[in-house]
Amino acid sequence: MAQLRIASIQLMGKATKQETYAHIRSLAFSIPDGAADLFMLPEMWNGPYEAKRFPTFAEPDRGPSWQFLSDLAKEKRVYLCGGSIAERDGDRVYNTSYVFDPDGREIAKHRKMHLFDIDVKGGQRFFESDTLSPGNSVTVFPTDFCTMGLCICYDFRFPELSRLMVDAGAKVILVPAAFNMTTGPAHWELLFRSRAVDNQVFTVGVAPARDPNASYQSWGHSIVCSPWGEVLMQADETESVLIAVLDLDRVSEVREQLPLLRQRRTDVYRLEPTRKE
């Protein structure tokens, strides 16, 4: 049985980046060596989730937060999905996720493609496009365990993107995210189970812990779902470090028993990526 052990680190950011680095290290080093193969952090962990403030704590590619993540992966000898941070590139700012291998080498980079611009009647109003620019790449990457896909939060609402990652070989889709108190209760578990079932993959979402003093309230509830749509692990809203064991053989078993991907009518419809950064 091919197993992948994922540690979801659902954390609450601190007042400064340096304090947050120290807090993440403390949580990461609370995990015994060898207990997990991949660590995963939440969306926008190194600053407040406020669109107007993204440019103020954005960093250039390979900046301090990138280096912190690279060093942490190397120290713990794990794959690390570094959640996401605000990345500055010239006069543009992106919501960017990096993945590192156990030697601390960057093996994937995804810029959030779909910007979270919503105005829900009686609920949340938020416009990322006020300060962020969208990425343009479908992101998949190889590991010693399997090929994985990577997207960020609102990206996951667009089923075409998950299918493109699966078409490129993904058996696990990683999603750093920060659903809020309107969208979280309504759609968080529903989306992770749906994408898992539709694409017959494991889906993994890691969110920030809920900070009652923040202007943007995270739903939390970091989650792992199986290719059959089962919830294998789900946190509550508080800080936590949870480890889920993924039986990767389950992907091929489900696809063989219910051959959705083979039975698509590609003579009638098809989906293809058209643009890369």
CA distance 65 to 78: 17
Inter-residue contact 192 to 205 (CB < 8 Å): yes
CA distance 38 to 152: 17
Strands (E), 74-144: 79-81, 85-89, 92-100, 106-111, 117-119, 125-127, 139-142
Inter-residue contact 59 to 65 (CB < 8 Å): yes
Structure tokens given for 45: 């962990």
Give the CA radius of gyration of the chain.
18
DSSP 27-81: HHHTSPTTS-SEEE--TTTTS-S-GGGHHHH-EETT-HHHHHHHHHHHHHTSEEE
CA distance 179 to 220: 7
Q: Which residues are marked as active site?
A: 43, 112, 153
Burial 216-231 (b: 16+ CB within 10 A, else e): bbbbbbbbbbbbebee
CA triplet 144, 34, 18: central angle to 5 degrees? Answer: 95
CA distance 228 to 60: 40
Return the axis-axis angle of helices 159-167 and 183-199, rounded to nearest 10°: 30
